[in-house]
Amino acid sequence: MPSFKDANGREWLVTVDVAQIRRVRQRLKLNLADLQEGDLLLRLADPVTLVDVLFVLVLPQAEEKNVSDEQFASALGGDTLTEATTALLEALCDFFQEPQRTFLRMVLAATKRKQAEAMTLLETEGDKLIQTMLERAMNTKTVQARSPTGD
């Protein structure tokens, strides 16, 4: 079962089933089962919406741990938010039947590969990329000095 830890070290198990989808739909007016529109992943890219969905999905656990939605949201950011996103996407994959499940797992794997490639590029070429971006942003050009005689 997919899970993640928040910044306070609390572990949250993420499951998606029909009851969870109904709860998210009722509370947030968002249909986790509707992949046809293509809107779901775009909406989940918003960190506030993402955390709201996660909280609804872990609500029984939050009540058990006496954690409010505000406390839950305050404990997510940076790497913890990345882990939470991965847990949600894995839980969504688990929910769907074949062949959608296989397709979603392929999309998730491809996304992870692209992220890893981007990190590798950043680690190996980061200084050059930063320098190029700074030069473009500042619109600076290297001026070569000439001798007074034009040589």
Per-residue confidence (pLDDT) for residue 142, from 0 to 100: 46
Pick the more confident residue, 24 or 142. Answer: 24
Token reading at 86: 């991965």
Q: How much is the CA Rg of the chain, to the nearest whole Å?
A: 22
Q: How far, in Å, CA of 145 to CA of 23, rounded?
A: 69
Segment 38-44 shows an average pLDDT of: 79
Segment 77-98 shows an average pLDDT of: 92
